[in-house]
Amino acid sequence: MANLGNPQNTIAVLQKYQFNFQKKFGQNFLIDTHVLDKIIAAAQITKDDLVLEIGPGIGTMTQYLCEHAREVVAVEIDKNLIPILEDTLKEYDNVTVLNEDILKVDINQIAQEKNAGRPIKVVANLPYYITTPIIMGLFESHVPIDNITVMVQKEVADRMQVGPGTKDYGALSLAVQYYAKPYIVANVPPNCFMPRPKVGSAVIRLTRHKEVPVFVKDEKLMFRLIRASFNQRRKTLVNGLNNSPEIDVPKELIIEALKTMGLSATVRGETLTLEDFAKLANIISE
């Protein structure tokens, strides 16, 4: 089968099927073999692995995954790509293509049926508008995952790995770092894709923590506090929490909790660490 990492081969497939890129699915197909090699290496894929691929497109990365993994399950939302994938992947007997929305797929069931419940590896080239819901969905549903290696918009990758006090620091940084260790593998310029996106991209690997790094009694409360404190960045933490419909805690109690932690009532959410938010949640839940 022709290697789709080669732009000429990708163009040939798209022409053969008269494929039209769908704006609503944020489709940008990777056409760079070096980047494909880097993703496979970063995800540390071996013949023991079951890989879940989100958004296979025309199967460029899928071909690579099939070569390296024991089995691949590729979930593609665009039904127009299904006949193309049947063609580009016809030489591989270790791949299953599901025409589904990844947010509705029971990934736990896939891990049970195809991997005896052992941790799976996730690889994806994600459109930026849906990056956060997909990654958070994978973590929050407590699917057995070893690592998630994804191509995302450069600024989203930056946001996932920064710490307190930086302008990119926010709810996504905290959520990702609570569940996983982020590591930017490579920056990927627009010319590595077809069509060319307007912004740069990056490959980031999120290695799932064996144990979460902080002790928190009520995970959901902690994330509600985090979201509320970043919803209005310019406000103090106390006001941000006080104005949030998600937080039903009297202002005095919040000030008292911060005082217990040795923090002033005028502190802003963006200066708190993950550990601080965990402490705050624990004090409030008591």
Global pTM reads 0.90
CA distance 258 to 254: 6
The answer for residues whose C-beta is within 8 angstroms of residue 220's C-beta and 6 or more apart is none
Query: pLDDT per residue over 217-253, tens digit each?
Result: 999 999 999 999 998 878 899 999 999 999 999 999 9
Instruction: Render pLDDT for 22-56 as a digit per residue (tens, 0 to 9).
Output: 666 667 888 899 999 999 999 999 999 999 999 99
Instruction: Say which CATH superfamily domain 219-285 falls into.
Output: rRNA adenine dimethylase, C-terminal domain (1.10.8.100)
CB 178 within 8 A of CB 212: yes
| CA distance linking residue 34 with residue 31, whole number of Å | 9
At 192, list the tokens. Answer: 């590595």
Pinpoint the residues of the chain covered by CATH 1.10.8.100.
219-285
Q: What is the pLDDT of residues 261-284, one digit of tens each?
A: 999 999 999 999 999 999 999 999
Of the pLDDT bands very low, low, confident and very high (cuts 50, 70, 90), residue 8 is confident
Report pLDDT for 69.
97
The CATH architecture annotation of domain 7-208 reads 3-Layer(aba) Sandwich (3.40)
Helices 171-179 and 154-161: crossing angle in degrees, nearest 10, is: 60
- Given a cut of 70, whether residue 1 has pLDDT beyond it is no
pLDDT digits (tens, 9 = 90+) for 69-94: 999 999 999 999 999 999 999 999 99
Q: What is the band of 129 on the pLDDT scale with cuts at 50, 70, 90? A: confident
| DSSP conformation letters of 104-164 | GS-HHHHHHHHHTTPPEEEEEE--GGGHHHHHHHHHHTT--EEEEEEEEEHHHHHHHH--T
Q: Could you please report the per-residue DSSP string of 199-248?
A: S-EEEEEEEEPSS-SS--S-HHHHHHHHHHHHHTTTS-HHHHHHT-TT--
**Stretch(es) of the chain classified as CATH 3.40.50.150:** 7-208
